[in-house]
Structure 1
Amino acid sequence: MSIRTTAFQKAARLSRTRPVFARSLTSRIVPNTSSKTVSSKFMIGTCVALAVPTYMYLNRAHLDSQQVVETAVPDKPQALEQEEKQGVKKVSIREVLEHKDGDRVWVVIQGEVYDMTDFLEDHPGGKDIIVENRSKDVTFIFNPRHPSDQLEADNLPPNVQHLGTLDTASASDEEKEALKLKISKDEQEENVRIERKRKEIEEQGLGSVVNMRDFEKLAEDMCTSVGWAYYASGADDEFTKNENNISYHKIHFRPRVLRKVAQADASTTILGYKSTLPVMISPAAMAKLGHPLGEVNMTRGAANTGIIQCISSFASCSLEEICAARSENQPLFFQLYVNSKRDLAAEVLKRVNRLNLNAILLTVDAAVGGKRERDLRLKGNFEPPKTGAFEKHDETKGVSEAMFAGVDPDLCWDDIKWVRSQTKLPLLVKGVQTVEDAILAYRMGADGVVLSNHGGRQLDTTHTGIDTLLEIRKHAPYLLRPEYRGPTGVQPAALEHPENLTPPDPQGEPANRPFEIWVDGGIWRGSDAVKALCLGANAVGSGRGFLYANAVGGQQGVEHAVNIFSAEILTTMRLLGVNKVDQLRPSMVEIKE
């Protein structure tokens, strides 16, 4: 075992030392600031690096420029340390600079030199980002886009050549300067702004964050403009993104009073796994945009608070990193995009099985990427690279569209059988927006559905998750647990015995097998979660909310978010007159059209 820690372990150690924020690790050669900018490089890298990769689970290139940390030096991957011990050659900066022109394309990453020439055509993010930055130390671009174990021997693409360790001792100041990336004045000011805001949060703590929207407000100041555009974007006019939460406003509570509610318990089970809350961390991509430890913060936060995390296929940390942070017996679910190349999708599922994850959420609402205009507008502020030697990437695509380049647009209901053939894990269909598709999911043998419109990021003016649940209640109530099939509002049976908390549960047979219904999207309050549960949902998920919490406070922010949801859910339950989640019923709400 290496006597040095990996960059990931070092970041984790820093995070424990500074509980709210850990600085990002950057290269040995600190990028320069100049009026001649690499803004186009960063933006092109951001856009094209988000195409779905063919290595390390379909995707995991990530956007957002990283803070400049002048004193931090990233550790090498363990495999590279071992190679160095075995006599891997030193490569001078002069040799690297000599490849600024010519047939071979060299770059420096974390103090190591790589020949990327044979990998250019295979790079999931396109070749422009590599060619544009040839003979440069690209650690500053690489780190926030890739898992920290990307350069380990098992993960390094076979057509990337590791040439050796960069020799800086023999280099002149001019050579060191030539190796640096240059950063625009705007990017420099943005990094200063983010660092200033992070220090403020560190000093003040999270006491002023009293609801999930507070996290959203703070997170905008703690992300780069590119990162915020990705996090906050919705499709087209963003009607559905906004409607996701507004749709809960038409659901009014019918609280019962003078009930003994000194004790209340919001715990539940989700797919048979215990959870302290009926709220999960929904799969949401690229948590490293907000914090250098990314999804690991969510894993640790979920473990400490007892809720369940669903890992995105587009996670900025590898599954191995996430599972290394997992506590004993901690349930983790995995959200799957099926790649057009089935062998790649099969490899992902093998990895999921090997790491003993607990469920699969098959995402079906992203045959193509939605038109997210925040991405496109921001992208329009930058020029594409003018390399001359290679064709340009598709300039009409924004960050989000590029992400779905490898997702199979021909995925169909028959493919559920294929997924079933690859794993024995419970399978839910995520992205269901109509009662017809909920019925099909049930008939095709899925273990449940996630009623979701992708956070309003795909097709605008579509159903919200809660609207789809209401549609299921009306047209296919047999998909619900029997006790949740009754009507909302006042029921005559309740008037005969008003002393009872709820009217008698409807008589009916349960579904032929367990079938769970989760609602995702628009959950910003604990009361939103309670409304969905009253209407028959087994659980709800929040994606953006936890991304924002991670951006503001890392692991501590995630745990604070869980505590906010917990307090709001318990307060809502008590004021409704109930003590446990399984006492919630449709009669406790009324739908106002």
Structure 2
Amino acid sequence: MTTTAASAVCLADLATAARSVTPDDVWDFVEGGSGAELSLVANRAALDDVYLVPRVLRDVSRPHASRVLLGTSTTMPVVVAPMAYQRLLHPDGELAAARAARSAGIPFTVPMLSSVAVEEVARSEADLWFQLYWLRDRAMTVDLLARAEAAGCRAIVLTVDVPLMGRRLRDLRNGFTLPRDVVAAHFPDAAATTQLQRAGTSAVAEHTRDAFDPSLSWSDIDWLRSATELPIVLKGLLAPQDAARAARTGVDAVVVSNHGGRQLDGALPGIRALPAVRDAVDDSCDVLLDGGIRSGVDVVKALALGASGVLVGRPVLHGLALDGTRGVEDALALLRAELDHALALAGCRDLGDAAGLATTTGTRGPGW
């Protein structure tokens, strides 16, 4: 029987089904990591290596999974991660995914490299966050901030781990380029580079090399704070020292992430970095985890190790490839059902209980 988004019983089913309907080069762009993909594989392996110590006799007949993130009430501690060029998977792209996020009651992060402009994504009426990369063109950065604010975005997510794009070997081997009907909607001149195919190169990487500013530093965070009144999230931290400094600058949240294994190959998995980052910032800002989340149990593991919530990426694209908005709705509904189930089986009445769970790992032995 052919698996559809609606018939999937886990997010891995969605991935298998999405693979069958996605062109090879697009699949590699979505699924691939950098270098030998050590960090890509490690993200999943590290999550699998965390074991929860469930509690019992706690009356979990009505588990409660809602949370407030950056002032927004969410039905579960999940945010859709920023992912570029979603019209590669479905003609409605980011608009379709944002509509599904609204139905699920969670925020959607508009990628700066979106194939649908933020003004159009806002038609979804979802709670929107806006991703920002640091651009060489400061005037364009100011313009994008103004557009995000005017569109009703509730937070700015500055991705700080991409001074330049990682060497994504699958894309280089494929000479990856965007089709003519997919463009970087916030970059009107990008089509000239992103649709130019050359063997052994990635058109997307060449565009970002020209557009992104590798001189980004802590002083620029102060400038960003002065340029917007929206909450600021720094995405892509692993070192507790960086997290502590981010908290001192007054950011509202940090995202512990190795960019889904797509930047420095060999970088620490986010779930391994999470406890130290949480300790470094204490309660001064929210701490979110990104990278490898594939089940409700993974969400509970992240909460137990100190996360306020998680970002979910590739499973959203899998649902999008299968059935647009409905496919993403099915993916998020499945994640929510798994989360409720995992909370109950772990003896958690709410997310506070999940944060109090003890954990251990298969490699280090008992940790409680």
Q: Which secondary structure does the structure 2 equivalent of 1:584 belong to?
A: helix
Whether the 8 Å contact between 1:332 and 1:358 is mirrored in structure 2 is: yes
Gaps of 5+ in 1: 1-199, 382-391, 482-510
- The amino acid across from 1:344 in the alignment is M
Whether the 8 Å contact between 2:95 and 2:116 is mirrored in structure 1 is: yes
Query: Quick one: distance in 2 between partners of 1:306 and 1:380?
Result: 34
Whether the 8 Å contact between 1:350 and 1:422 is mirrored in structure 2 is: no
Residue aligning to 1:535: 305
Structure 1 residues 446 and 207: CA distance shift in structure 2, 3 A = closer
The answer to whether residue 73 in structure 2 is matched with residue 270 in structure 1 is no
The answer to whether residue 200 in structure 2 is matched with residue 404 in structure 1 is no
- The amino acid across from 1:459 in the alignment is L
Q: Which secondary structure does the structure 1 equivalent of 2:246 belong to?
A: helix
Deviation of 1:263 (Å): 1.1
- The amino acid across from 2:67 in the alignment is T
Q: 2:249 aligns with which of 444, 447, 455?
A: 444
Query: Quick one: distance in 2 between partners of 1:444 and 1:398?
Result: 35
The answer to whether residue 336 in structure 2 is matched with residue 582 in structure 1 is no
Query: Quick one: distance in 1 between partners of 2:124 and 2:156?
Result: 20
Structure 1 residues 256 and 214: CA distance shift in structure 2, 3 A = same
Deviation of 1:440 (Å): 1.4
Cα-to-partner distance string for 1:170-215 (whole Å, 9 max, x where unaligned): xxxxxxxxxxxxxxxxxxxxxxxxxxxxxx97xx753431111111
Matches within 5 A, 1:459-538: 459-473=264-278, 477=279, 479-481=281-283, 511=284, 515-538=285-308
Q: Which secondary structure does the structure 2 equivalent of 1:428 belong to?
A: strand
Structure 1 residues 285 and 587: CA distance shift in structure 2, 3 A = same
TM (norm. structure 2) is 0.89
Whether the 8 Å contact between 2:63 and 2:344 is mirrored in structure 1 is: yes
* Of 579-588 and 312-321, the range deviating more from structure 2: 579-588
Query: Quick one: distance in 2 between partners of 1:245 and 1:464?
Result: 8
- The amino acid across from 1:248 in the alignment is L
Structure 1 residues 446 and 394: CA distance shift in structure 2, 3 A = farther
Q: 1:572 aligns with which of 336, 342, 347?
A: 342
Whether the 8 Å contact between 1:323 and 1:355 is mirrored in structure 2 is: yes
- The amino acid across from 1:339 in the alignment is L
- The amino acid across from 1:520 in the alignment is D
Q: Which secondary structure does the structure 2 equivalent of 1:414 belong to?
A: helix
- The amino acid across from 1:583 in the alignment is D
Residue aligning to 2:89: 290
Deviation of 1:396 (Å): 4.7
Q: 2:149 aligns with which of 353, 357, 370?
A: 353
* Of 539-548 and 215-224, the range deviating more from structure 2: 215-224
Residue aligning to 2:168: 372
Across the aligned residues of Structure 1 and Structure 2, the Cα RMSD in angstroms comes to 2.0
Q: Count the aligned residue pairs.
A: 344
Whether the 8 Å contact between 2:142 and 2:227 is mirrored in structure 1 is: yes
Cα-to-partner distance string for 1:507-552 (whole Å, 9 max, x where unaligned): xxxx4xxx01000001011111111111111110111110111111
Residue aligning to 1:55: none
Residue aligning to 2:131: 335
The answer to whether residue 256 in structure 2 is matched with residue 454 in structure 1 is no
Matches within 5 A, 1:31-46: none
Query: Quick one: distance in 2 between partners of 1:219 and 1:479?
Result: 38
Structure 1 residues 454 and 364: CA distance shift in structure 2, 3 A = same
Query: Quick one: distance in 2 between partners of 1:369 and 1:259?
Result: 47
Cα-to-partner distance string for 1:417-470 (whole Å, 9 max, x where unaligned): 111122100001111121111111112221121111111011101011111113
Structure 1 residues 380 and 311: CA distance shift in structure 2, 3 A = closer
Whether the 8 Å contact between 1:267 and 1:276 is mirrored in structure 2 is: yes
Q: 2:99 aligns with which of 282, 300, 306?
A: 300
The answer to whether residue 35 in structure 2 is matched with residue 236 in structure 1 is yes
Whether the 8 Å contact between 2:6 and 2:330 is mirrored in structure 1 is: no
Whether the 8 Å contact between 1:536 and 1:586 is mirrored in structure 2 is: no
Whether the 8 Å contact between 1:369 and 1:403 is mirrored in structure 2 is: no
Whether the 8 Å contact between 2:58 and 2:349 is mirrored in structure 1 is: no
Whether the 8 Å contact between 2:86 and 2:115 is mirrored in structure 1 is: yes
Cα-to-partner distance string for 1:527-584 (whole Å, 9 max, x where unaligned): 1111111111111011111011111111111111111111111111101111111222
Greater relative contact order structure (CA < 8 Å, 6+ sep): 2
Deviation of 1:216 (Å): 1.3
Larger Rg: 1
The answer to whether residue 232 in structure 2 is matched with residue 427 in structure 1 is yes
- The amino acid across from 1:333 in the alignment is W
Query: Quick one: distance in 1 between partners of 2:171 and 2:79?
Result: 27
- The amino acid across from 1:343 in the alignment is A
Deviation of 1:316 (Å): 0.8
Structure 1 residues 584 and 380: CA distance shift in structure 2, 3 A = closer
Whether the 8 Å contact between 2:164 and 2:214 is mirrored in structure 1 is: yes
